[in-house]
Amino acid sequence: MKDEKKTKKQLLEELNTLREQMANLEKSVAVNKRAKEFFRAVTDYTHDWDYWISPEEKFIYMSPSCEEVTGYTVEDFEKDPDLLDYIVHPDDQCLISLSYENELDSDHSNGIDFRIITKDGEERWINHYCRPIPDIEGKTHGIRANNRDITDRKNAEKAVQDILDSTNQGFLQIDNQVRLLRINLSLCKILGRKEDEIIGHHLSEFLDEENKGINRHQLIQRDKLESGVYELAFTRPDNSQVTCLMNATPTYDAKGMKSGSFSLVQDISSLKQMELDLRTAKRQAESANRAKTYFLANMSHEIRTPLNSIVGFSQILIKQASQLSLPDDFQHYLENIQTGGENLSELINNILDLSKIEADKITLTRESINLKLLVQGIFHINKTEALKKNVTFQYELDPRLPKYIYSDRTKLHQILMNLVSNAIKFSPNNKTVMLRVKRQRGELVFEVEDEGIGIPKNRQSHVFEAFEQVDESMTRRYGGTGLGLYIVRKMTDLLEGEIELASEEEKGSLFTVKIPLQETDSINIKNDEVHWEDCHFSKNNKVLVIEDDPTNMEMIEVLFRELGLKIEKADNGKRGVEKALELKPDLILMDMHMPEIDGMEATRQIRENELGENIPIVAVSADAFIRQQNAAYQAGVSHYLTKPLDFKRLIPILLKYLRQEKTQILPDLNQRNRPDLPETIREQLHEETVRLSKIPRYDALGIKLQVQKMMELSKPYDSSYDDILPKIIDASKSRNSKKIPVLIKEILNG
């Protein structure tokens, strides 16, 4: 009985539990019914196609939008349960089946894109999104699917992809996990891989360790929402690397959250190779340039050393010729030797200028310049050559020009000398060359016009290039290297100016140089030219010459003998240092290239000893490069003269450091008790004086030769010519041309 009562009690509890469950079930069914009714009310009026499927793969619900999307009605799907599979594109059948199986066994929703074939045969894209439907106990009661027509989006994406595929630039898009979501054909070519070997893979799979590090750093920048441009090298299947320029930008989802990034990828392997080739070529060019500089330095030294003897001895012989009363032809030949040496020296300087221009190492040294004296100097230097060719050479100065300008004297001198010497060189006899200087709208304008052979129009653009002449016959006929006008153009550019050419064959040429006009009132110009005839040095001066070349040593010794000085000699740097410290000379002339120790080291050793720290040292070297000159100054030289030695540059240095004595000019014993000037000689001298008066004042050589002829006539006799004729030569040397007519008039009136 007891067991039966318990059984009844248990049955009553179970019955009550069952009633409660039935009540809850009714409530749940009611809730589900209301939820289904609400879901139907919403989905029936959307464009999305929704449906519910039971675990038995039967439709629980199908929204009316199915007809809008697929062309099939709800009744069509209800009549034919296989229609859902039938409309899926054949190529996407496997994808949808696998997705459906996974969705039944999964608690998570998934979304896929696939294609369907509509009732009208149209291909459309569907975004398929599923979610399992749980019952009260949490078991899957079926699947609710949402299908959205994304055909327009897919078409737009395809259009974008077509554009991306048509570019030569690579494209890639990655998600936050650095998986590749989207690429283009160019990226496939860059990486040397197919699309399916790239899409879905991690970007790091195509990078070596070094580039993985670069990529990690860049991903950090993307996480900071920063764009970036950087280089990245990808590894291809054959283990070769392709260097790319990446231009990366973060991407964002609909909520504004970072979803990954995309990058434009430019293959720059060829550019990197070109850069490498350029660096190699640059190193080779620099090496070749160093070799060229070394060659030019050696060539300059080797040519200047013997040239120093040629020009030096010719200067000495020209001086002695006037003292020894040698024939005019003899003196003329000596002057030709000197001119030839100076021309060769100018050629070397032009080649060195070319080297400096190409190395971009030529600089400006601006100073105050007396413009009139500069032009007159150009005129006097070139007048003799014009007279030899019977070419009329004249100059004109604009009265509005300032007296002084601020510019680079050397560069202006080179420009005008090249243009004027060319004009005279290419002008036939009885023609005219004109040098004009004008002031024009804030510019200084130089015009050099000739009546020469002219330049053909098809060659006018080439004459300013290095080693260019009108044609090869010009070189054979007139000589030259073709460097002059190139240097003129470069010097003009350096002065921030411009050069123009107007020319017509057989009529002549007009070269116009325009530079900015900069006036100045502040001047510090020394115009007096010192002649060695005016130098009277004390015999107590001690001069040490350190030179290893015997010929150059002999030339310098003769020069100083002409100046009344005796020199001490040393034939190498080591002996030179010893003698310098022993003699403590007033001046040292130091060659830079010598055995034992060179001039640089010898100078340093002299300067390091307190006995030699204040001795003036003049470097006399065939090295003409600025770099070598600067090195010599750093070693301690006081002045630097290049070979061939120009006495006009040496004498002011001697006057600066050597003691002079006032000399009393005593009458020559041979000149005492000379007879008076005979009337026949007086008349002859008068005729020669008239001839002298007709020689242009700028023709220093013509005046000198005529005066020397008159001095020969008057030498045996006592006359006023002894005092006046030397003064005329001095006036022509110092270019004090205004004094010459006064002296000639004094002779004629006497």
Q: What's the CATH code of the domain at 503?
A: 3.30.565.10
CA 324/CA 327 separation, integer angstroms: 9
Which has the closest alpha carbon to 369: 220, 483, 470, 519? 519
Residue 399 falls inside a structural domain? yes
Structure tokens at 71: 């062309």
Alpha helices in 64-184 (DSSP H): 65-70, 74-79, 83-86, 93-104, 151-166
CA 642/CA 623 separation, integer angstroms: 7
- Backbone φ and ψ for 240, nearest 5 degrees, come out as -80, 160
Q: Are 103 and 240 members of one domain?
A: no
What is the pLDDT at residue 681? 79
Residue 576 falls inside a structural domain? no
Structure tokens at 199: 């899409």
Residue 653 falls inside a structural domain? no
Q: Are 145 and 168 members of one domain?
A: no
User: How many Cβ atoms from other residues are within 10 Å of residue 46's Cβ?
Assistant: 14
What is the pLDDT at residue 19? 62
Q: Specify the amino acid at residue 123.
A: E
Structure tokens at 212: 């993985």
Q: What is the mean pLDDT of each run of 10 residues along the chain (750 residues)?
A: 56 66 58 53 66 79 86 88 86 71 53 87 87 70 83 82 80 90 89 90 92 91 89 93 92 88 90 88 80 68 70 73 66 69 66 61 77 85 82 91 87 88 88 93 92 81 63 48 75 89 87 90 51 75 91 85 88 91 93 87 92 90 74 90 80 87 48 65 81 74 77 78 79 66 76
Using alpha carbons only, give the angle 559, 562, 567 rounded to the nearest 5 degrees.
Answer: 60
Q: Are 380 and 505 members of one domain?
A: yes
CA 293/CA 628 separation, integer angstroms: 11
Structure tokens at 520: 């100045």
Q: Are 173 and 220 members of one domain?
A: yes
What is the pLDDT at residue 389? 84
Pairing of strands 170-175, 180-183: antiparallel
What is the pLDDT at residue 735? 52
Residue entry with tokens 């000149």: 671
Report the half-sphere exposure of 517 (CA within 13 A, side-chain side).
18
What is the pLDDT at residue 342? 66
What is the pLDDT at residue 288? 77
- Backbone φ and ψ for 252, nearest 5 degrees, come out as -135, 150
* Ramachandran category for residue 149: left, alpha or beta (phi over 0 → left; psi -120 to 50 → alpha): beta
Strand order in the sheet with 587-590: 567-570, 543-546, 587-590, 617-621, 639-642
CA 86/CA 90 separation, integer angstroms: 9
Q: Specify the amino acid at residue 113.
A: D
Among 149, 165, 192, give the residue marking a domain's end: 149
The domain in which residue 197 lies consists of: 154-267
What is the pLDDT at residue 478? 46
What is the pLDDT at residue 24? 64
Do 185 and 208 form a contact (C-beta atoms < 8 A)?
no
Q: Specify the amino acid at residue 397.
A: L
Pairing of strands 617-621, 639-642: parallel
- Running DSSP on this structure, what letter comes out for residue 573? H
Residue 80 falls inside a structural domain? yes
What is the three-class DSSP state of 508? Answer: strand
Q: Are 368 and 512 members of one domain?
A: yes
Which has the closest alpha carbon to 166: 154, 184, 193? 184
Q: Are 407 and 498 members of one domain?
A: yes
Q: Are 385 and 495 members of one domain?
A: yes
Q: Are 145 and 56 members of one domain?
A: yes
Structure tokens at 614: 């204040």
What is the pLDDT at residue 37? 56
Residue 507 falls inside a structural domain? yes
Q: Are 254 and 371 members of one domain?
A: no
CA 675/CA 718 separation, integer angstroms: 6
What is the three-class DSSP state of 600? Answer: helix
Number of domains forming the structure of the chain: 4
Residue 685, judged by CB atoms within 10 A of its CB (0-12, 13-18, 19+), counts as buried
CA 587/CA 593 separation, integer angstroms: 19
- Percent of the chain as helix, strand, coil, to the nearest 5: 50, 20, 30
Beta bridge partners of 629: none
Q: Are 416 and 443 members of one domain?
A: yes
CA 119/CA 322 separation, integer angstroms: 123
State which H helix or E strand residue 21 sits in: helix 2-43
Pairing of strands 49-53, 59-62: antiparallel
Residue 449 falls inside a structural domain? yes
CA 242/CA 234 separation, integer angstroms: 5
Residue 664 falls inside a structural domain? no
Among 267, 301, 316, give the residue marking a domain's end: 267
Q: Are 377 and 501 members of one domain?
A: yes
C-alpha distances in angstroms, 684 versus 679, 692, 714?
A: 9, 12, 10
Pairing of strands 498-504, 443-450: unpaired
Beta bridge partners of 617: 588
* pTM score over 0.75: no
Do 457 and 388 form a contact (C-beta atoms < 8 A)?
no
What is the pLDDT at residue 672? 45
Strand order in the sheet with 110-117: 59-62, 49-53, 140-149, 123-134, 110-117
Q: Supply the angle between the helices 371-388 and 409-425 in degrees, to the nearest 10.
A: 20
Q: Supply the angle between the helices 599-608 and 573-583 in degrees, to the nearest 10.
A: 30
Alpha helices in 239-368 (DSSP H): 269-323, 328-358
Do 253 and 244 form a contact (C-beta atoms < 8 A)?
no
Beta bridge partners of 127: 113, 148
User: How many Cβ atoms from other residues are within 10 Å of residue 586's Cβ?
Assistant: 19
Structure tokens at 589: 């002339």
The domain that holds 119 is classified in CATH as 3.30.450.20
Among 467, 487, 516, give the residue marking a domain's end: 516
Residue 407 falls inside a structural domain? yes
Which has the closest alpha carbon to 580: 534, 552, 545, 528? 545
Q: Are 219 and 107 members of one domain?
A: no
CA 90/CA 77 separation, integer angstroms: 19
